[in-house]
Chains A and B, each alone.
Chain A
Amino acid sequence: GAVVSQHPSRVICKSGTSVKIECRSLDFQATTMFWYRQFPKQSLMLMATSNEGSKATYEQGVEKDKFLINHASLTLSTLTVTSAHPEDSSFYICSALTQNYGYTFGSGTRLTVV
């Protein structure tokens, strides 16, 4: 089946720095990638939808200048958290959507901002 490889699995960064999270689709092409954020003991909340080669569509309340999404190729989508603050600490998960495999989720990235 389809696999989405998400890295890093855990990252700790200092306040004010930027962090990049990568999601790679293995053995398939992901034209659409969704990025979710999950706070402890809460549900997955959609942050943005990205389509290969075009600008991402952000959900209401999500700052596009703070959460930069790049989907420049069919196998790689990245989320960069810029000028991270402690309130950005969360679990970030990507999900690729394809006609053949449906939704395939990455394993998640635990971001801790200190």
Chain B
Amino acid sequence: GENVEQHPSTLSVQEGDSAVIKCTYSDSASNYFPWYKQELGKGPQLIIDIRSNVGEKKDQRIAVTLNKTAKHFSLHITETQPEDSAVYFCAASKLDTGRRALTFGSGTRLQVQP
């Protein structure tokens, strides 16, 4: 089955700096790669996603890049703010066929220092 690895497990940056979180996946048939932000005691919130037919996607301060050949994808947050502090999870699935459940990475605790 799918295996998603995520690094780093913790990340501390100064306000205004950029943050990068990286994930690799094992199943080349996976075609959907979302990123979630989870605050304490709450369910995950989708912040950005990308499909396998796209290499990059951007939404204001947040961007995701996908390298299908290397089977890795990354989350980039620019101009970080204290409210970006949370746990971030990457995930992968075969959205249209086969196993459609999301497989999650192990999470990254991002701390933005004011």
Contact = CB atoms under 8 A, between A and B. Distances in A.
B10 to A, nearest CB: 11
A46 B49 CA distance: 20
Contacts of A108: 41-43
B112 to A, nearest CB: 19
B102 A34 contact: yes
Contacts of B103: 46
Nearest to A95: B102
B53 to A, nearest CB: 16
A78 interface: no
Interface string A22-40: 0000000000101000000
A93 B43 CA distance: 7
Nearest to B106: A43
Interface in A34-80: 34, 41-46, 49
A39 B77 CA distance: 27
B2 to A, nearest CB: 10
B104 A43 contact: yes
A95 to B, nearest CB: 7
Contacts of A103: 34, 46, 102
Nearest to B32: A102
B101 interface: yes
B107 A43 contact: yes
A102 B49 contact: yes
Contacts of B43: 6, 93, 105-108
Given A6-B43, A93-B43, A105-B43, A44 B49 contact: no
Contacts of B102: 34, 44, 46, 95, 103
A110 B43 CA distance: 11
A105 to B, nearest CB: 4
Contact of A32 (B41, B46, B100): B100
A102 B91 CA distance: 13
Contacts of B89: 43-44
B44 interface: yes
